[in-house]
Structure 1
């Protein structure tokens, strides 16, 4: 289990590194480089627009790679998704700016961001099922928290690299070539991830489906026909996690540097530190999920987010690094309370024959609802407004929606996982 979970963690960290390094670059440099004819605000919005395209592509990637995972195995998904995202990220680092190739630059940037999202849409489902379908029921949330530590670890790698470059390079050097280095590094990380993942075995649940002839012919159609309500509830429930994360890690960078006058380095340090604590708390929160259940943890996290968004904006608006850190940290604790258990919760909600598609599409639709819109909406609502209470209202509204969705979902622990088409239940009830 440790080898399997570690492979999931490393691969997920690499893929989310690829995804997050784009978000940081969008907040700091992509506007003037690829949209120089726009005003500063419009250029930032345009850069965040390309950022949002990755979230639009993620549900499509979930359908594509979910079909592969439900029909041909979880393992092929892990390799194909990593290759797709790694190629796209490395190519962004090699892409000429608007000053060199004109309008082709933002068009190609948009295409590569789409490919990034497509690959990441398949990554989460494959990595999570690799651990969830090997793990014992009583510790499924704990083992499932390993791939869930991948996003904060990837964010730490992305922001740590950006932070180092901004500290050692001048603004002119960073704008000229320094921002490209983290994208080039993605190619090296991808090779390492592939070497680790190609040695993994297929999950026992998929092997049983293949042996009994119980694999879904059209997993996406089956999910839409029989599990559409579950799909909408999981997407709505998880949307607040994405909204909070990208408000803290992407929009706050722009607001802090451009409107509060906080240095780029200071903003990167405080956001990176908050994300680091988030990653360390993930397995601890997962243990609570194994003890008290998945749904209570999700409800607690979304409720905390609803209560904290106005204090978060108030603390952020002070411009004082320690208070900004405190506001960001509590917001991310709300996120980790939910997301530490979803790697166990979502696979338990779907039957094995459509699990790769259903869990991944629900997870990535939440990214479209909460992650794609939040930096754009928050940037528009905060333009020239201090404090930006409209941003707090937006985030609180998303949190209330998520709380209502979690309230409508069933608990899955310590209930057994659903039986597949063969009628076999794949786990016994976990001990109370």
Structure 2
């Protein structure tokens, strides 16, 4: 389990390094380089719109790779998704700017971001299921939590590279070629990730389904027909996590540098320190999910988000690094209370024959609801001299929506009085019976 968890963690770290490198570049340089005819605000919004395309593509990646995972296995999905994301990310580093090729530049950027999203949309389901289906039932939350550390590491790698380049190069050098280096580095990381993933063994639960002839022949049709309500509830529940994460890591970077005049290296440092706290606390939160349940942890994270969004904005508004870090760190702890347990919760909610499709689609639809819109909405409502209370109100509203969705989902954690055998939780949800 330790070897498998480490390989899954490394894979998700590499995939999300690719995804996050684009988000940081969008916040710092893509607007003026690829949309120079726009005003500064419109350019930032346009750059964030290309950023949002990656989230819109993620559910499509789930629809593409999820059925493959249910029909042919979890491991092939991991290899294919990593290859697609890595190639698209490297290609971003070679796209000429608007001054060189005109309108073709942002179009190419848009296409490559879309391909990135497709790959990441297939990544999460395969990585999490491979770990969850190997793990012992009463430690599933802990072991499945390790792939959830990967995004934090990927974020720190991407932003650490950007921070080092930003600090070590002049502004002209950074805008000319420095911002491209993290995208070129993705090729090396993707190669290492492929080497790791080709050595993994297939999930025992999938092998069992294959031996018994119980694999779904049309998993997407089964999910749409029998699990649609569960998909919508899980997507709505996860929306707040995405909204909080990208408000902190993407929107606040723009707001701090452009509206508050904070140096970009200081902003990146505060955000990275908060994400380091997030990564360090993920295994503990996952363990608490094994002890107290998946659903209570999700409800607690939503409630904490409701309470903390206005204080977080007030602390950000000060422009003081220690106070900004405090605001970001507490928000990240609320976020990880939910997302550390999701990697066990979603596989347990869906029956085994369709869980690669169902869990991945629900997870990535939550990204569209919470991640794609948040930087755009937050940027649009935060202009002006006063504190951006509209951003706090938006995040609080999303948290209340997610709280309601999690309240409608059942608990799945195996306990002494509940068999660890995996049973579909969607049937009780549909019939109104008490969940197994």
Tell me which interval the TM-score lies in, with the shorter structure as reference length: over 0.9
Partner of 2:200 in structure 1? Answer: 200
Equivalent pair of 1:348/1:417 in contact (CA under 8 Å):
no
Residue 134 of structure 2 corresponds to residue 134 of structure 1: yes
Give 1:245 shift.
0.1
Per-residue Cα deviation, 1:33-52 (whole angstroms, up to 9, x for no partner): 10000000000000000000
Look up the SS of the partner of 1:409 in the other structure. coil
Look up the SS of the partner of 2:373 in the other structure. helix
Per-residue Cα deviation, 1:79-136 (whole angstroms, up to 9, x for no partner): 0000000000000001111111110000000000000000000000000001000000
For residues 354-393 of structure 1, what are the structure 2 equivalents within 5 Å? Answer: 354-393=354-393
Equivalent pair of 2:55/2:371 in contact (CA under 8 Å):
yes
Equivalent pair of 1:65/1:122 in contact (CA under 8 Å):
yes
Look up the SS of the partner of 2:108 in the other structure. helix
Equivalent pair of 2:348/2:423 in contact (CA under 8 Å):
no
Query: How large is the Cα RMSD of the aligned pairs?
Result: 0.8
TM-score, normalization by structure 2: 0.96
TM-score, normalization by structure 1: 0.96
The 1-side partners of 2:89 and 2:38 are apart by 25
Give unmatched runs, 5+ long, in structure 1.
421-432
Give 1:182 shift.
0.2
The 2-side partners of 1:27 and 1:14 are apart by 20
Partner of 1:334 in structure 2? Answer: 334
For residues 386-425 of structure 1, what are the structure 2 equivalents within 5 Å? Answer: 386-414=386-414, 415=418, 416-419=420-423
Residue 289 of structure 2 corresponds to residue 289 of structure 1: yes
The 1-side partners of 2:137 and 2:283 are apart by 16
Residue 119 of structure 2 corresponds to residue 119 of structure 1: yes
Per-residue Cα deviation, 1:357-415 (whole angstroms, up to 9, x for no partner): 00111000000000000000000000124201000000000000000001000000124
The 2-side partners of 1:327 and 1:225 are apart by 42
Partner of 2:433 in structure 1? Answer: none
Per-residue Cα deviation, 1:182-235 (whole angstroms, up to 9, x for no partner): 000000000000001101111100001111111111111111110111101100
Partner of 2:431 in structure 1? Answer: none
Look up the SS of the partner of 1:340 in the other structure. helix
How many residues are paired up? 420
Partner of 2:298 in structure 1? Answer: 298
Give unmatched runs, 5+ long, in structure 2.
425-436
Partner of 1:81 in structure 2? Answer: 81
The 1-side partners of 2:395 and 2:120 are apart by 24
Equivalent pair of 1:69/1:76 in contact (CA under 8 Å):
yes
Give 1:418 shift.
3.3
